[in-house]
Amino acid sequence: MKKGLKRVSGTDPIIFYIHRLSRSMMRASMAQYEHEFGLGVPQAQILNALGARGPAVSKDIAVYTAMNKALVSRSLSELTQSGYAVSSLDAADARLRVWKLTKKGEDFVAAFWPVRLERRAKLLKVLTAEEQVLLTQFIDKLYYSSEALGREEAAARRKQSRQTSKRADTASKPKRERRYEETRAKGRPSL
């Protein structure tokens, strides 16, 4: 730890350290990939995904790379204009486009993978093989926990939004109409 960055044991949230590591890795990756290949991290990740998994629709690329759909869409457009990727209509669903690497994209992946593996080895050399396995397991657990939490919170927001909307609808109705609906809901005959 650098001098001046005093840590009070147990008080700094682990999420802070994960974000800090992620930002540091992203900054370094962006600079390196831009310097070596003239591409940003999102474009490199998308090409890497297409190289590893083969042709895919943008939704699957977004899931695989953990990027938002808008960023994937913009990046695919840039990669197409630069000649790294092409798309065609999905045979099963003409509403979808299937993206795949061009020869230029395949050449990028062939050059990129050794650089990526070398950078990963340099980064992880501070950990033993056992620590690397444990770190991967911990990160996977946290990722799936974060995804589940996100889904739970989204469901709670949707429910709250529906309840707020229902209250607003009810409040906007005339008093006589609200009374009528309330008595019908209780099973009483209306007057």
Where along the chain do its domains lie? 14-126, 128-191
14-126: which CATH topology? Answer: Arc Repressor Mutant, subunit A (1.10.10)
Mean pLDDT per block of 10 residues along the chain (191 residues) reads 58 82 88 88 93 93 92 96 93 89 96 91 94 94 92 92 72 66 62 47
Task: Answer yes or no: are the C-beta atoms of 22 and 86 closer than 8 Å.
Answer: no
pLDDT value of residue 93: 84
List beta partners, residue 85. 101
DSSP tag of 97: E
pLDDT value of residue 37: 87
pLDDT value of residue 8: 55
pLDDT value of residue 57: 94
pLDDT value of residue 191: 47
- Measured between its terminal Cα atoms, the distance across the chain in Å is 76
Among residues 69, 68, 71, 70, which one has the least CA distance to residue 40?
71
Quote the tokens at residue 8: 């009070």
pLDDT value of residue 19: 86
pLDDT value of residue 16: 86
93, burial (CB in 10 Å: exposed 0-12, middle 13-18, buried 19+): exposed
pLDDT value of residue 184: 66
C-alpha–C-alpha distance, residues 40 and 34, integer Å: 6
Q: Which phi and psi angles does 120 have, rounded to 5°?
A: -65, -45
pLDDT value of residue 90: 82
C-alpha–C-alpha distance, residues 64 and 143, integer Å: 13
pTM equals: 0.65
Quote the tokens at residue 182: 């309330």
C-alpha–C-alpha distance, residues 31 and 40, integer Å: 8
pLDDT value of residue 172: 62
List beta partners, residue 100. 86
Tally Cβ neighbours within 10 Å of residue 29.
Answer: 16
pLDDT value of residue 95: 86
pLDDT value of residue 9: 58
